[in-house]
Structure 1
Amino acid sequence: MAKILIVDDDTSFGLMIEGFLKRKGFNTVFVSSYSAALDAIRSSSFDLVLTDYRLDSGNGLDIIPEVRKKDLKTPVVLITAYSDIRVAVNAIKLGAFEYIAKPVNPDELLHVINRGIDKATAAPNTPTQTPVSKYIKGTSRFAEQIDQQIELIAGTDLSVLVLGESGVGKEFVAQRIHELSHRNSKPFVAVDCGALHSDIASSELFGHKKGSFTGALDDKEGHFENVKDGTIFLDEIGNLSYDVQVKLLRAIQERKGRRLGSNEEYTINCRIIAATNEDLRTTSFSGKFREDLYHRLNEFSINLLPLRDRKEDISIYSDRFLKMASNEFNKENIHFGSEVEKIFLSYEWPGNLRELRNVIRRAVLLAKSQEITLAELPPEIQVPTEQADIPVQLREVKEKSEKEMIIETLEQTRYNKAKAARILGIDRKTLYNKIHKYRIDA
């Protein structure tokens, strides 16, 4: 019987969730405060933690590292209002398994909990190995350029840095590079650096010997040793502590790794692909991220635009996600209503592809007929607040003016993008994104 910790300062809501899960056969512990949650996590073991985002003296994001410090494999599910979608995206970045938007649907809650427990049970404390790519080719000009870059770099052994907001599909790009490379018969190991607590990051990456620190009860291979001649994907690389950055730099330079507590070294022969949603060049100037490590990782970079800037691809992604969700929930002939398709194109998608996938999975689960209607979409999707307050004509005028200003500045600087970005008061990455968005020949 799986044991679940429920954390919510709304006692009536928490007790309702607890009663529902008990009726479904789960062993539950309910606490109504942040401090009580920390005490429970530190004193007991749980198969899953279900926490509300807004708590009395903390929040659900603060719960995640505490859980992962105790047991890396325990899934954390965050419950949040849909208006806090950016919070939910940050929760995934910190290592949450999934998020659920209020109002909570019982079927969705039960499905997410079962999926989280099944995943933790099936692969305890092991890296994610994904031999089959789920990469989806878009049809926009930008998507075609990304595909060309992937095909160009896949046949080499250069280190690649994939840039973009959370949820844009950086891991899918990394996996696609691996799939097209000569290493495609070897393991692909994805490591979420954002979910690695600083106390265990070195052990997870490079391994440890029994007795090397408190809790090291057995010898353990690290991810670099485990991947062998394959590809290692270091997601959210900017979250590694400075000490771990030093060890990673040494390992890349010397192509050697060493377990904690051991004097023996092993050869590192894998390809390294890293990803981040930060501007590592800027953080390297401030000293937060080592500049020499940045250059080691950035032998080639791929910059992914957010979904709101490549809306031509939304129908491709939504159709694929619909098919995947239909197979998952055993529902046939499910399709989008015309109003839903319009909403998908007008919504800004702050959570990018991850949010689009979750919205579609939820809609398929809740669908009462073969057509997905507005009733199956979260309230924030049905009436996008950011768009509702801005007349369409005003947005078009604003975008036209911005495009003209960028073109004029590029012409003045003879298409020196670094200089143009300085004049416009934006960084070079933002300028590239807007050039792609407005399809400016530069």
Structure 2
Amino acid sequence: MKQILLVEDDLTYSRIVKTFLEKNGYAVETCVKVKDAQQTLATNSYDLIIADFRLPDGTGMELLQWSKSKFPATQVILITHYSDIRIAIKAMKLGAFEYITKPINPDELLATVKESLSAKSTEPSIPSSKPQKTSESKVAKSSYVVGSSAEAEKLEKHIQLVAPTDLSVLVLGETGTGKEFVSRRIHDLSTRKDGPFIAIDCGALPRELAGSELFGHVKGAFTGALDHKTGHFESAKGGTIFLDEIGNLSYEVQIQLLRAIQERTIRKIGGNKEIQIDVRIIAATNDNLIIQSGDGHFREDLYHRLNEFTLQAIPLRRRKEDLEDFAQQFLEESNDRLGKNVGGFTPEVWEIFLAYDWPGNLRELRNIIKRAVLLTAGGLVEKDALPSDLYEPSSQMASASFGNTSNSVMNEELPSPKDYKSKWVEQEKELIQKVLNDTKFNKSKTARILNMDRKTLYSKMEKYGLD
């Protein structure tokens, strides 16, 4: 029987979910705080964690990061209100299997639980000595949608231009814009298309294991290294390695990566033998690496090595002409995954889709369509199958404001990178100072509110003289 840990501070809600899951054949333990969950996980083994985002002593995001560093094979599902959608999307980048929104639909919950446990049974844990085959599991070759908008055609033209070369490519763009799909498209059109495409989410790699995952290790290199391990760079021989959220790599791993690019060789952790590598590197980020390099968090020389050619993934709000193509693609995927036969969307749903600004981009569209297909009993997706936040006036106003701000910035003459950095530093300092004052310099609480770890907060406080 699969073991599930439910972390929810609403006791009535927790009891309902626990009873429902137990009736469907799962063993469920419950707790109400992050600390309680950590203690429980340290003494018991679980296949899945279901955690509410808002908890009395922290957040589900904190529990996610902690559990992924300690128990990487355990899946995590985040429960969130729809207003937390951007946080939920970030959680998926950190390794969450999926997020579901309140109020929870029982069928959606059960389908997501089954899917997460099925995925767990086929995925090797991070410490495994066998290379992870991530190329086909995350992005199918046929999943890329070129689109017909002017920006989509420009992006495709640039992809066609750079794909046959062996240049390193940096793909920039907001969370959820399909940077991995763009990277896979480059690989499929390159001379390396018959080689492996290995995708690595650098944000989900446990800090202490990142070097081992990328470059491998020899037996006995560190506690727990019970056998030799082949790293992703060695496994990707003759193909492409995709490093998503490259800005999350530690400074030490950045040094190793720079050496691998320059010398075209790697050395396993604990080893002394140079291993030749033959890979093309495509990196992606939604961070400003120029600012990070100025702050000393990202090596400038590594940035220039990765940035031989830059592509910009397009936010969905700027390619509404392509919305129908993407929606149809995701509808077909959802029908296949859920065993349904939904034929399309009502005109009312299309009006909602076109009016919404999609802050979570393609990932948000895919999840909403998957949820809608699950809830649809007839032939077409109707308005009732959509989250109400998509069409309520309050959310529309927020979305419109977001979109208009974006457009106004696009039409103005942009300041220089130096001006951007100066304004960013000034605003960040003011924000940290305000939150510190509001929390009476409670650093743990401040770090939680600012959504950063305490080490980063201490570093910034020292930098800005806020001690």
> Same fold by TM (over 0.5)?
yes
User: 1:41: Cα distance to partner?
Assistant: 2.1
Q: Does structure 1 conserve the Cα–Cα contact (< 8 Å) formed by 2:342 and 2:373?
A: no
Aligned-residue Cα RMSD (Å) equals 2.2
Q: Who is 2:324 aligned against? A: 315
User: 2:358, 2:40 → 1: CA distance?
Assistant: 36
- Please give the secondary structure, in 1, of the residue aligned with 2:324: helix
Q: Who is 2:37 aligned against? A: 37
User: 1:322, 1:425 → 2: CA distance?
Assistant: 44
Call closer, same or farther: CA 1:360–1:333 in 2, change over 3 Å. closer
Call closer, same or farther: CA 1:233–1:133 in 2, change over 3 Å. farther
Q: Does structure 1 conserve the Cα–Cα contact (< 8 Å) formed by 2:357 and 2:399?
A: no
User: 1:95: Cα distance to partner?
Assistant: 1.3
Deviations 1:230-253 (A, max 9, x none): 110000000111111111111111
Q: Who is 2:455 aligned against? A: none
When structure 1 is superposed on structure 2, of 38-47 and 150-159 the one drifting more is: 38-47
- Please give the secondary structure, in 2, of the residue aligned with 1:221: coil
Call closer, same or farther: CA 1:30–1:169 in 2, change over 3 Å. same
Q: Does structure 2 conserve the Cα–Cα contact (< 8 Å) formed by 1:374 and 1:382?
A: no
User: 1:305: Cα distance to partner?
Assistant: 2.2
Q: Who is 2:245 aligned against? A: 236
Q: Who is 2:135 aligned against? A: 129
Count of residues in correspondence between the two structures: 412
Deviations 1:3-39 (A, max 9, x none): 1111111122112211111111112221111111111
User: 2:417, 2:89 → 1: CA distance?
Assistant: 32
User: 2:415, 2:178 → 1: CA distance?
Assistant: 26
Q: Who is 1:287 aligned against? A: 296
| Stretches of structure 1 lacking an aligned partner (at least 5 in a row) | 410-419, 428-442
Alignment partner of 2:191 out of 173, 182, 201: 182
User: 2:96, 2:325 → 1: CA distance?
Assistant: 27
Q: Who is 2:346 aligned against? A: 337
Q: Does structure 1 conserve the Cα–Cα contact (< 8 Å) formed by 2:266 and 2:276?
A: yes
Alignment partner of 2:162 out of 120, 129, 153: 153
Q: Who is 1:99 aligned against? A: 99
1:178-217 correspondence runs (5 A)? 178-217=187-226
TM (norm. structure 2) is 0.84
Call closer, same or farther: CA 1:235–1:391 in 2, change over 3 Å. closer
- Please give the secondary structure, in 1, of the residue aligned with 2:297: coil
| Stretches of structure 2 lacking an aligned partner (at least 5 in a row) | 126-131, 422-467
Q: Does structure 1 conserve the Cα–Cα contact (< 8 Å) formed by 2:182 and 2:313?
A: no
User: 1:168: Cα distance to partner?
Assistant: 0.3
Alignment partner of 1:362 out of 355, 363, 371: 371
User: 1:247, 1:276 → 2: CA distance?
Assistant: 19
- Please give the secondary structure, in 1, of the residue aligned with 2:101: strand
Q: Who is 2:71 aligned against? A: 71
User: 2:218, 2:417 → 1: CA distance?
Assistant: 54
Q: Does structure 2 conserve the Cα–Cα contact (< 8 Å) formed by 1:202 and 1:244?
A: yes
- Please give the secondary structure, in 2, of the residue aligned with 1:220: coil
Call closer, same or farther: CA 1:177–1:48 in 2, change over 3 Å. same
Q: Who is 1:434 aligned against? A: none
User: 2:398, 2:64 → 1: CA distance?
Assistant: 35
User: 1:143: Cα distance to partner?
Assistant: 0.3
Q: Who is 2:128 aligned against? A: none
Q: Does structure 1 conserve the Cα–Cα contact (< 8 Å) formed by 2:164 and 2:190?
A: yes
TM (norm. structure 1) is 0.88
Call closer, same or farther: CA 1:241–1:400 in 2, change over 3 Å. closer
User: 1:388: Cα distance to partner?
Assistant: 3.6
One-letter amino acid matched to 1:32: V
Call closer, same or farther: CA 1:178–1:328 in 2, change over 3 Å. same
User: 1:316: Cα distance to partner?
Assistant: 1.3
Percent identity between the aligned chains?
Answer: 48
Q: Does structure 1 conserve the Cα–Cα contact (< 8 Å) formed by 2:359 and 2:399?
A: no
Q: Who is 1:440 aligned against? A: none
One-letter amino acid matched to 1:14: S
